Structure 1
Amino acid sequence: MFNTNIYITRRNELTTKFTSGKVLLLGNIENPINFEHNTYPFRQDSSFLYYIGIKSPRLAAVLDIDLGETVLFGDEMTIDEIVWMGQQQTLTEKAALSGIHKVLPFEQLFDYLKKGGKNSIHYLPPYQSHNKLLLGKLLNCPVEQFQPSIALIQAVAAQRSIKSAEEIIELEKAVDVAVDMHRLAIQMTKPGLYEYQISNAMQHFAQDQGMSFSYPPIITKRGEILHNHMQFHQVHEGDLLLNDSGVETSLGYASDLTRSFPVGRRFTSLQEEIYQIVLHAFKSAERLLTVGARFKDIHLKACEALVEGLIQVGFMKGNVQDAVANHAHALFFQCGLGHLIGLDVHDMEDLGEQYVGYTETEPKDTKTFGLKSLRLGKQLEAGNALTVEPGIYLIPELTQLWEQQNLHRDFVNYDFLKKHLKFGGIRIEDNYIIQENGARRMGKYLEREVNEIYQLKDNAPN
């Protein structure tokens, strides 16, 4: 946990946004894999971590604005639990580290919330099934009629979006370990290996550093599948491997890096051409990161850089600005340029992208292919932590569909494109913190130039 005063200050800042009522923060539970006592690895709710800091399951906290107190609801270990798990730090001791001095049994949460009525309770959107059922009982309300507090969502999103000095330290710890993990993957990858062998080695490395994957890693030679978690392919000379993976610190802060590299010692000529296009778009976006810049505009500038390169190679044609304005580039770049990062790898996604990545005056485009997958579009502020991750992906099924629908023939060279539909995909991704005078890439530098990747390959241990 952080210093006690950090959690007290965070809660005090949050409660100043309300004049009355109770802010309810629900922790997560352990979820069973196939029977009650065989559970998935426990991960605490990120907003609960931010304001309370305790990683134990089955907890709830109430910030009572009217009484000016914070109450933690949970249960101390029973003697049976001590027998099986050993005596651990008590819940009262954990609460004290968070600056909370009132701890009540979990079952008293119901009676405590009844005081003032359910309309006085401010709560966030639940995503765990258990918490949906729990809220239904607490509010005496069916799930489909939940009305999470918009004011609370906005207050939490605004507060968590600005990273403090201690948070940036944690984020950089996560980046540093991920950088070494990615270098390991680049150097160990060679023809004949299986994707899962690379993934296993990375997981082993992360755990040796006291960290774990911050999300299921994407380690694949089928990089055109954007969230491809299958890792059963054997890789061969001439294949391109895409590695999108990051780690999470013990306090829950995440990194999210991507590198694309040859399985053998060198890219093919087309792979290197496409890689340079993506790298140019990456650098174009990197230069534009600054306070006040609208991330949606940076995304579109990166798209223009991608189109410029795709025209030179022969995949696209026509005017660059017109192609992007008509969203023809989305055949090759279907997703967004980046997202906020923090306690969640897609920070605060459970609160809703409209509240986290956009504003009321500039809402998210939820219909346009490509833009609807842009998680961040608003103006950047000092303290924002985010990713930049342009890519080019040749998806055979999407290409076939667009050609059948006669889409964007003024911009897409389908005859040339169809000769290269087995190409796959390339993505490059780093993590940044926005500062008053621009932006800074967080953590250690991870090789991204073609010659740097080749040097890593050449210096790989036998």
Structure 2
Amino acid sequence: MRICQAKLLPWVNQTNNAMFSTDTYKRRREVLQQNIQAKGILLFLGNIENPINFADNASHFRQDSTFLYYFGIQQPHLAAIIDLDENKTIVFGDEMSMDAIVWMGRQETLKEKCEKAGVVETRAYADLAIYLATAMSVKRNIHYLPPYQSFNKILLSELLHISIVDFKPSVPMIQAIVAQREIKEAQEILQIEEALKVSNQMHLLAMRMAKPGVKEYEIVSAIQNVAGSHNCELAYNSIVTINGGILHNHYKMNTLQSGKLLLNDSGCETPMGYASDLTRTYPVDKTFTPEQRDLYNVVLNSFEGAKAELKAGVKYKNVHLKACEILAEGLIDLGFMKGNAQDAVANHAHTMFFQCGLGHMMGLDVHDMEDLGEQYVGYTAEDPKNTKQFGIKSLRLGKELKAGHVLTVEPGIYFIPELIEMWEAEKKYAEFINYDKVKQFAHFGGIRIEDNFLIKENGYQYLGPELIRTVAEIEDYKANN
């Protein structure tokens, strides 16, 4: 049986494969086996190296997070199975060929890495197709997760003899994995805090560099260098922009100008794959203008109000709505909105300024487990999102919080000229929005404040070293640096 005809690249140098203890991976797999309500085979597909423009020039390799969670091996072209019926775990992959050794040198063998993960049985990568074909011939269930890499979509189609459009990922497998991965172990929290220590340095450097005449890409390059100097990668493409009204703005060619704000949304990933995700907004000058200060404090008040709501048992959707009400109250006080804040939020008028959700899970992924499906990670079957309403539809996390959840809180105010123009023409929410004043700020940009939290039974733990966020703290830092 053939396995996906795409060329398999020689695996990258991973001699510094950072891993937890052997017992960690064995215990995680044992818990999964105990908790999953299913029989058959659990299939885990590792990632490959993706070519940039030809096969031997690949993008930076990043292992699939679920594979990393249960096996810890950061090497491309691996797969694994947990056979629930036979209580057997196998990793499928190939040892280095002589050609690979010639080009890259002798490295730790796959068998040695698997032993560190508590897996004693390894087989050739091509044997995966044989193992699954044998299982399917006697009608055994193959449980798999939603693939996101094109290679793995094609591979899975060939392994299971089904069209990509007919994939039916295993709901029991997804639910069991989400239930396990969403509760962070103490050693995972330490990893996230290590990422936050580095991210803190990234953000402070950006604040020091933010001056008129500096290019956005100069700051992006500098903060990426901070991550690299700590043997970390960026957790996602940094958003460093004077056009903060664009929510995910990766354009970085602008020159910083006096009178503008700079929004920096960036985080790093540790060698073990754990992410951080911080955002700060501050003036290019040493001080905020009065208008910037007023709007910044509205966002800060929303952040503080949302933070105070965090604890186990609270629905994050309600935390989001609390943050929205505080934003609306502040915008009413400043004359951008009118009427009653609760009524404005109930009618979604605040989404003129806050078009997204308050936060998301975080861990091995910056948006943790988003590949497994928002309906399982951020919501439940008993309490689904079930809305296409602008604004709230973008809330990735709405379910009841549990002790051990790690998440972001990131309220913001965003002025989007095209949205302002369209809604004014439609007279949309005219009873709540003062369009005359809003139009004066159409090109203001945006403000976001974001930090990372661990949920506790009776509250929260702020993760990492606390990064300055008040107007006074930021102005003092810029004045003295």
TM-score range, shorter chain: over 0.9
Q: Give a deviation string over 1:262-310, Cα, whole Å, max 9, x none.
A: 0010111111100000000000000000010000000000000000010
1:89 matched residue in structure 2? 108
Contact 1:178 1:255 in 2 (8 A): yes
- Of residues 137, 159, 162 in structure 1, which corresponds to 2:183? 162
Mapping for residues 230-309 of structure 1, pairs under 5 Å? 230-309=251-330
TM-score of the aligned structures, taking structure 2 as reference length: 0.95
**SS across alignment from 2:135:** coil
Partner of 1:426: 447
1:72 matched to 2:72? The reply is no
The aligned residue for residue 444 of structure 1 is 465
Deviation digits for residues 306-365 of structure 1 (CA, Å, limit 9, x no counterpart): 000101111100011100000000010000000000000000000011100001111114
Q: 5+ residue gaps in structure 2? A: 1-18
Q: Which amino acid aligns with 2:75?
A: S
Identity of aligned residues (%): 55
Q: Which residue in the other structure is 1:38 paired with?
A: 57
Deviations 1:345-388 (A, max 9, x none): 00000001110000111111440100110000000000000000
Choose which of 132, 135, 138 in structure 2 pairs with 1:113.
132
1:4 aligns with 2:22: yes
Q: Which of the residues 3, 18, 23 maps onto 2:42?
A: 23
- Mapped partners of 1:273, 1:202: distance in 2: 28
Deviations 1:160-193 (A, max 9, x none): 0000000000000011110111011101211100
Aligned match of 1:216: 237
- Report the Cα distance in structure 2 between the residues aligned to 1:119 and 1:238, rounded to whole angstroms: 65
Distance in structure 2 (CA, Å) of the matches to 1:110 and 1:420: 60
Q: Which amino acid aligns with 1:30?
A: E
| 8 A Cα contact 2:303 2:410, kept in partner | yes
Runs of 4+ in 1 over 6 A off after TM superposition: none
| C-alpha distance in 1 between matches for 2:26 and 2:80 | 13
For each residue in 1:128-159, what CA deviation from the matched residue of structure 2 results, as whole angstroms up to 9, or x when unmatched?
00000000001000000011001111111111
Distance 1:350 1:19 in 2: 21
* 2: CA distance, partners of 1:37 / 1:298: 48
Q: How many aligned positions are there?
A: 460
Q: Determine the C-alpha separation between the residues in 1 that align with 2:280 and 2:386.
A: 28
The equivalent residue for 2:211 is 190
CA contact (8 A) 1:244 1:257 kept: yes
Aligned counterpart in structure 1 of residue 413 of structure 2, from 383, 392, 397: 392
* TM-score, length of structure 1 as denominator length: 0.99
Following superposition, the deviation at residue 194 of structure 1 comes to 0.3
Which stretch has the larger CA shift, 36-45 or 8-17? 8-17
Please report how far the alpha carbon of residue 401 of structure 1 lies from its aligned counterpart in structure 2 after TM superposition.
1.1
Shift of 1:115: 2.7
Give me the whole-angstrom Cα distance separating, in 2, the residues matched to 1:265 and 1:184: 14
For 2:289 and 2:418, locate their aligned partners in 1 and report how far apart those are by CA, in whole Å.
Answer: 24
The answer on 1:358 being equivalent to 2:376 is no
Match of 1:171 in 2: 192
Give 2:221's match in structure 1, choosing from 200, 207, 220: 200
Find the aligned partners of 1:92 and 1:133 in 2 and give their Cα distance: 27
| Residues 365 and 371 in structure 1, CA contact (< 8 A), matched pair in contact too | no
**CA offsets per residue over residues 76-104 of structure 1, 9 Å max, x none?**
01000111111110000000000001000
Distance 1:405 1:146 in 2: 42
Q: Which amino acid aligns with 1:116?
A: A
User: Could you tell me how far apart the structure 1 residues matched to 2:340 and 2:302 are?
Assistant: 17
Q: Distance in 1 between matches of 2:37 and 2:309?
A: 36
After the TM superposition, which of the residue ranges 111-120 and 229-238 deviates more from structure 2? 111-120
Partner of 1:137: 158
Q: Take 1:203 and 1:455, find their aligned partners in 2: how far apart are those partners?
A: 25
Secondary structure of the corresponding residue to residue 282 of structure 2: strand
Measured in 2, the distance between the counterparts of 1:178 and 1:420 equals: 31
Secondary structure, aligned partner of 1:238: coil
Q: Equivalents in 1 of 2:57, 2:408: separation in Å? A: 35
Q: 1:14 aligns with which of 18, 28, 32?
A: 32
Q: What letter matches 2:378 in structure 1?
A: G
C-alpha separation in 1, matches of 2:167 and 2:398: 27
Shift of 1:116: 2.7
Aligned positions of 1:322-333 closer than 5 A: 322-333=343-354
Give 1:48's aligned residue.
67
> What per-residue deviation string (whole Å, max 9, x for no partner) do you get for residues 363-417 of structure 1?
1144010011000000000000000000000000011111122210000001111
Q: CA deviation at 1:423?
A: 0.4
Q: 1:124 corresponds to which residue?
A: 145
Structure-1 separation of matches of 2:203 and 2:387:
33
CA distance in 1, matches of 2:304, 2:112: 48
Aligned position for 2:337: 316
Is the Cα–Cα contact under 8 Å of residues 73 and 109 in structure 1 kept in the other structure?
yes
Mapped to 1, the partners of 2:37 and 2:26 lie a distance apart of 16
Query: Shift of residue 19 of structure 1?
Result: 4.5
What pairs up with 1:338-377 in 2 under 5 angstroms?
A: 338-377=359-398
| 1:17-52 deviation digits (Å, cap 9, x = unpaired) | 145200000000000000000000000000000001
The residue matched to 1:115 in structure 2 has which SS?
A: helix
CA distance in 2, matches of 1:14, 1:159: 7
The amino acid of 2:309's aligned partner reads L
- Give the Cα–Cα distance (whole angstroms) in 1 for the partners of residues 312 and 432 of structure 2: 34
Contact 2:38–2:172 (CA under 8 A) maintained in structure 1? no
TM-superposed deviation, 1:119: 5.3
| Cα distance between partner residues in 2 of 1:178 and 1:265 | 22
Letter in 1 for 2:190: I
